[in-house]
Structures are given as structure tokens and as C-alpha cells.
Structure 1
């Protein structure tokens, strides 16, 4: 193992957090802002780069790793948490919205995972958080998640977060499924990923499911989420009173006040 061998425990159901157990001098990396709590004698440090700790070229290599994260739309910085004490210590990271935290052992999936750019939560030190350029330009322009997706490489544990219920699907060689672009969480590196236009003008304009969906062809493994954050946010935004939503949605009184133009205190 080139990565630090961390132990962990998941807590909660819909609003989960992961508690990572660190032996002395073990380190975990995480996205900035994901920390929930940590024990005493854990040193927190902000770093440039991809978190692998193996960039060459000194400052040039670190700037290159940080630049890759900027291209993928992530923060310039990552945070490391190192146990500087004598015994075992714990540090916990919380999910940013309702959903599930998925532990990924990269050594079991050929050392590579491709995921949405906002799916990565934390990982053992040594896991490189980079970018994955899609082979087809159409995938980039119309994929819903942009031309670039995140790429996690190494042989350690990484934690990925997604919304709603998570469904793991094993694809056989040649087997193909079509997925809403926002519902795709992650896939192994051997899955062929492309974007397909929704056929039929009426379906595209009035179907309510967008103009494009992802086609995933096996062999490989994919993880799909039932509630993308963008979908949840759009419903909340649409229901806000300032955007025409009802102040008392679901109630007779609320509808009456809307009709009369009243404002409840």
C-alpha cells in the first residue's frame, strides 16, 4: 500500500458523517469546509496540489496540482489532518446535503475512480485528486457536469458523497444503460461514457427531463444517485415566495392569503 491505511466508521442515515481513525503519523486529506470535528493533537494544514503528496518539481509541481483543481471548479486548497499524538485519534467529515457517503477502496477497482466534480469528500493521504478529460467533445459541452470530471487515483480509501439513495450497478461487457446526467455519481475507469441526444422534438421540449442523457457501456461499475443536489435546489428555488412559490403551500389558508394578497405574520 502506498496510501495511508485508515480505518473509518459511518454514522447516520440521510445526513451522514464519516469518522476516520488515525494511527500516529497517519494523515487524511479532505475538501476545504468538510470538517465536522476532530480530537486534540490532530494537526490541520492547508496544502496546494492534488493530495497525493508525490508531486515532483517542488513549487512548480504543487502549483500544477493546484491548477488542475481550479480547472475542475474546486477550491485552490485541500486540507490535511495528521495525528501528531501517541495513540489513536479521530477526525470526522460531514456530508454537505442529504444523501449517502460511499467508501471506495481504490485498490479493488484498479486504482481509478471517475466521479462528479463535487462528489469527493475525503481520502487517505496518497490518493491523487485530479481531473478526467472526456474523450468526446460532445460529452463535455452537453454532459451536465461539464467537460471535466474528477479523477481519484491510488490504492487507498476515498469517500464520495451523493444525494438521496445510491444505487450501485454492475455492467456486463456490452451492457448499456441511459442515465440522467445529473444522477451519475461515479464510475470505474473501464466504463465507456458518452452523451446521447433525446430523440423527438416533443420529447426534448416538453419531456421535462432535459435534452441529453448519459449512456454508460460496460464492463464496469457505476454509482447512481436518486436526488442530485441541482434538482433539489431548483425545486426549493422554484417554491420560494419571491419566485412565485406559495407561502402556505399545501394548506387552504395559505392559498386564501395568496388570492387576497395578504401577508401572514
Structure 2
């Protein structure tokens, strides 16, 4: 194993968190702000990129971190290392209602492709890069599914999905059409493309957008019922339009947005 071998336990049903058990000197990496709680002797450290290129020199670290800019993520990630003498625990919380998916990358031939906001945490040594779609249609019209992350290695990774999660195994040649925001992850052998929704009425008034993600098997696909973009749009749509009625709630959103 090139990655640290970690144990874990997932708690909760709708608002989940994952507790990772670290042996002495074991390390887990996570996005900034994902940590929920940690025990003593677990040391936090901010690093460039995902930590998989820490021995490749400054340029290797810079290139690893720079790839994350294309997915809209921070240049930095946080490591959590057990520097004590016994087993210690650190927990990471889901950012919104949904499910945390544990993925043993060694089971999926060392690579999983997921949406750019889906990654939560992983064993140190897992590489978090970008997966650019080769076809120009997917590039221009893929929406949330255009620039996706790839998780590579032989360790554990944890991915978050919104709402209810559905895992579907596609047979060779089997095709599944999915709303681009509902696609969470897929194995590397799934062929991915963007399909235009036929019919003027469907495109303009269907409420489902103009494009679908077309997934062709063989492979495994994970789909979520509640993309964060859909949840956010419903919340903002429910904000009262009256200045007096909505002033308090709008003030809260302004604070969250940094205005």
C-alpha cells in the first residue's frame, strides 16, 4: 500500500459525519473546513495540494496545488496526523444533508471520477487531480459535470452526495441519462458525454435544463437526488421579496457571502 491504511465509522442518517481512526504516524487529508472534532495528539498541518507530491520538490508541489484552482478549490489542504502512542480519532462532517460514501480505491482499479465539490477526506497518499472531458460538447455544456475531480491511489476516500444516494451498475453498452448536477461519481471505464434535450418545448419549458449527462457502461455510477445547486436555488427562491419581511434573512445570507 502506498496510501496510509485507515479505519473509519460513519454516524448519522441525513446529516452524517465520518470518524477516522488513526494509528500512530498515520495521516488523513481533508478539505479546509471539513473537520468536526479531533482528539489530543492529532496534529493539523496546512500543505500545498493533496500531499501526494510532497517529495517531488517545490515545482511538483506547486503543480499539484495549481490543478486545484481549475476546480474552484483552495490551493491548500489540511493533514491530520496522529503523533501520539495510541489510536486516535478525527471526524469530518458532511456540508449539507446527504450521504457520505466510503470508497476503497483499490477496488475500483485505483481511480474514481467525481464532481468537484464531492470530495470530503482521504487517506494520505491519495492524489486529488482534475479530469477534463475530451469531447468539446461536454466541455462547453457540461455545467457542474464539466471539470470533475479524479481520486487516484490505493487507499480510502470519502465522497459526499446530497439527498438520497443511488448506486447503479451499468452493463457493457448500457446507457443512462442523468441531470449533470445529479452525477456524483463514476468509475474510470464509464464513457461520459453531454446530450442535447430534443424538442423546443422540452428545452425551454421542461425545467430540467438543456443538457443531460450521458453515461455508457460498463462501470458503476453514483447519483444524488439533491444537488447543492438545486437546494440553494430553492432556498433563495423562498426568500420574501418584501424589503421588510426579508431583511433579516437576506442579512444572514449577506454575512455568509461576505457582503
Report the CA distance shift for 1:104/1:41 in structure 2 as closer, same or farther (over 3 A).
same
What residue in structure 2 maps to residue 27 of structure 1? Answer: 27
Matches within 5 A, 1:156-167: 156-167=155-166
Q: Please give the alpha-carbon distance, in whole angstroms, between the structure 2 residues aligned to 1:225 and 1:159.
A: 15
- Shift >4 Å, 4+ stretches: none
Q: Count residues in correspondence.
A: 245
1:84 to partner: Cα distance: 0.1
Matches within 5 A, 1:159-178: 159-178=158-177
Q: Deviations over 1:85-142 (max 9, x none)?
A: 0000000000000000000000000000000000000000010000011111211211
Q: Deviations over 1:7-38 (max 9, x none)?
A: 00000000000000000000000001100000
Q: Deviations over 1:35-85 (max 9, x none)?
A: 0000000010000023324552x1111010010001111111000000000
Matches within 5 A, 1:189-208: 189-208=188-207
CA contact (8 A) 1:55 1:65 kept: no
Q: What are structure 2's unaligned runs of at least 5 residues?
A: 247-259
Q: Please give the alpha-carbon distance, in whole angstroms, between the structure 2 residues aligned to 1:134 and 1:228.
A: 20
Q: Please give the alpha-carbon distance, in whole angstroms, between the structure 1 residues aligned to 2:241 and 2:63.
A: 43
What residue in structure 1 maps to residue 133 of structure 2? Answer: 134
TM-score normalized by structure 2? Answer: 0.92
SS in 2 for 1:167: strand
Report the CA distance shift for 1:186/1:228 in structure 2 as closer, same or farther (over 3 A).
same
What residue in structure 1 maps to residue 14 of structure 2? Answer: 14
TM-score normalized by structure 1? Answer: 0.90
Report the CA distance shift for 1:140/1:54 in structure 2 as closer, same or farther (over 3 A).
same
1:153 to partner: Cα distance: 0.1
What residue in structure 2 maps to residue 37 of structure 1? Answer: 37
Q: What are structure 1's unaligned runs of at least 5 residues?
A: 248-265
SS in 2 for 1:241: coil
What residue in structure 2 maps to residue 230 of structure 1? Answer: 229
Report the CA distance shift for 1:195/1:156 in structure 2 as closer, same or farther (over 3 A).
same
Q: Please give the alpha-carbon distance, in whole angstroms, between the structure 1 residues aligned to 2:164 and 2:146.
A: 26
What residue in structure 2 maps to residue 2 of structure 1? Answer: 2
SS in 2 for 1:69: helix
RMSD: 1.4
